[in-house]
Amino acid sequence: MKRIFSGIQPTGEIHIGNYIGAIKQWIELTSEYDCIYCVVDYHAITIEYDIEQLRQRTIDTGLILMACGLSPDNCKIFVQSHVPEHTELAWIFNCVTPIGELERMTQFKDKARQHRENINMGLMDYPVLQAADILIYKAGYVPVGEDQVQHIELSREVARKFNNRFSPLFPEPQAILSHAPRILGVDGINKMSKSMNNYIGILEDKDIIWEKLRTAVTDVNRVRRKDPGNPELCNIYTIHRAFSGNENLLEIDKGCRSASIGCIDCKKTLFENMVKELDPIREKAEQLKKNEDYVKDVLMDGAKLCREMAQNTMEEVRTSLGLYRPKIL
């Protein structure tokens, strides 16, 4: 069966950009693929973070993924630092990755601009660790949002360089994009993200979700209620596509273009559909919160299974590198 790998950072609340850009397809893919999903805590420490909060956020991120529908029955789910072979492989990949490739990564440039006081090696090396995450399981497909496509391309290059220099151990992984690969924030300008504070959290209270939706930017050319709008230029419509059925979508498309409905009408329908989908996730999360030990067990069992796979790959890698291997280590 074809193998999928993807990861999410435990950097804060999971928002609907994560959900419709990535997690929703993570769940869909479990029916057809052998899926491995990872809470990537070693990636999260490349920028300033709250030491007190990291531990709980890591568990909570696993918990939310489970509340969304992932479970040991349909995938493996674990915490990156529990499988230390990822970082070991990253070191080896460092030795085949040209620095120039890392310097031109858009995410590195953006984050270096945002965190001038702490431009560390880990921030630049981030995509190499990501390549190791994927390739240590020889995964061929990586469901991500659009912002990660460049990193997946780098993973392909790392795999190619390793295969040419040593032995052909690795596939060249491909990104799988959802129908909503780039969701803008409620500001309608920047990508929805935790750091921009322009997000709608998937576990947020309904009142807060409505308040954020109500004031969210739509098609900026639609100034007055009677102006016709263009759904293709509207971030709210993009979000609608992920939460609403075809009938609703057609109605809204027509109503917006002819100005027979206003933005608030459109947002009310979206709000209803969104709540319908997010309510059960919130309920499941509350249940899991009461049983956190179960979540921790799932993460631990996932790590055990993944570690075995990772160790097998590392033995092949060490042999290909020509390292001296004593009989017992």
- Residues across the chain: 329
- How big is the site for ligand TRP, counted in residues (CB under 6 A)? 14
Alpha-helix residue ranges (DSSP H) falling in the chain: 16-18, 24-29, 41-44, 51-68, 85-94, 99-103, 106-114, 121-135, 149-165, 206-214, 235-243, 246-257, 263-290, 292-321
Write each residue from 126 to 145 as x if it is in contact with ligand AMP (CB under 6 A), else as -, in one continuous string.
Answer: ------------------xx
135-194 residues in contact with ligand AMP (CB under 6 A) are 144-145, 147-148, 181-183, 191-193
Residues whose CB is less than 8 angstroms from the CB of residue 308 and which lie 6 or more positions away in sequence, other chains included: none
Residue number of the CB closest to ligand TRP reads: 7
In the bound complex, what is the minimum distance in angstroms from residue 64's beta carbon to ligand TRP?
15
Burial label for 122, CB within 10 Å (0-12, 13-18, 19+), is middle
Distances (CA, A) of 33 to 134, 205, 241, 242: 15, 34, 25, 22
Is 169 in a helix, a strand, or coil? coil
Q: Which does 133 bind (CB under 5 to 8 A by kind): ligand TRP, ligand AMP, none?
A: ligand TRP
Residue 11 neighbours by CB distance under 10 Å: 21
Give kind and range of the element (H or E) at residue 7: strand 3-8
Q: Which does 142 bind (CB under 5 to 8 A by kind): ligand AMP, ligand TRP, none?
A: ligand TRP
Which CB, 182 or 289, lies closer to ligand AMP?
Answer: 182
Which CB, 5 or 237, lies closer to ligand TRP?
Answer: 5
In the bound complex, what is the minimum distance in angstroms from residue 301's beta carbon to ligand TRP?
20
CA 234 to chain centroid, in Å, comes to 23
Q: One of 24, 76, 111, 212 is an active-site residue; which one?
A: 111
Give the C-alpha separation, 204 to 123, whole Å. 30
Residue 282 neighbours by CB distance under 10 Å: 17
Q: One of 194, 268, 284, 296 is an active-site residue; which one?
A: 194
Write each residue from 130 to 169 as x if it is in contact with ligand TRP (CB under 6 A), else as -, in one continuous string.
Answer: x--xx-------x-x---x--x------------------
Q: Catalytic: 194?
A: yes
38-77 residues in contact with ligand TRP (CB under 6 A) are 40, 43
Strands of 165-217, DSSP E = 174-176
In the bound complex, what is the minimum distance in angstroms from residue 266's beta carbon to ligand TRP?
29
Q: How far apart are the first and last CA of the chain?
A: 32
Q: Is 7 in the site for ligand TRP (CB under 6 A)?
A: yes
Q: Catalytic: 111?
A: yes
Give the C-alpha separation, 282 to 212, whole Å. 18
Which CB, 130 or 178, lies closer to ligand TRP?
Answer: 130
- Cα torsion for 90, 96, 98, 104, to the nearest 10°? -40
In the bound complex, what is the minimum distance in angstroms from residue 36's beta carbon to ligand TRP?
9
In the bound complex, what is the minimum distance in angstroms from residue 126's beta carbon to ligand TRP?
7
Residues whose CB is less than 8 angstroms from the CB of residue 299 and which lie 6 or more positions away in sequence, other chains included: 39, 59, 62, 77, 78, 79, 82
Write each residue from 102 to 131 as x if it is in contact with ligand TRP (CB under 6 A), else as -, in one continuous string.
Answer: ----------------------------x-
Q: Is 22 in the site for ligand AMP (CB under 6 A)?
A: yes
Which CB, 46 or 244, lies closer to ligand TRP?
Answer: 46
- What residues act catalytically? 111, 191, 194
Chain residues binding ligand AMP by CB under 6 A are: 8-9, 17-18, 21-22, 144-145, 147-148, 181-183, 191-193
Give the interface with ligand TRP as residue ranges (CB under 6 A): 5-9, 40, 43, 130, 133-134, 142, 144, 148, 151
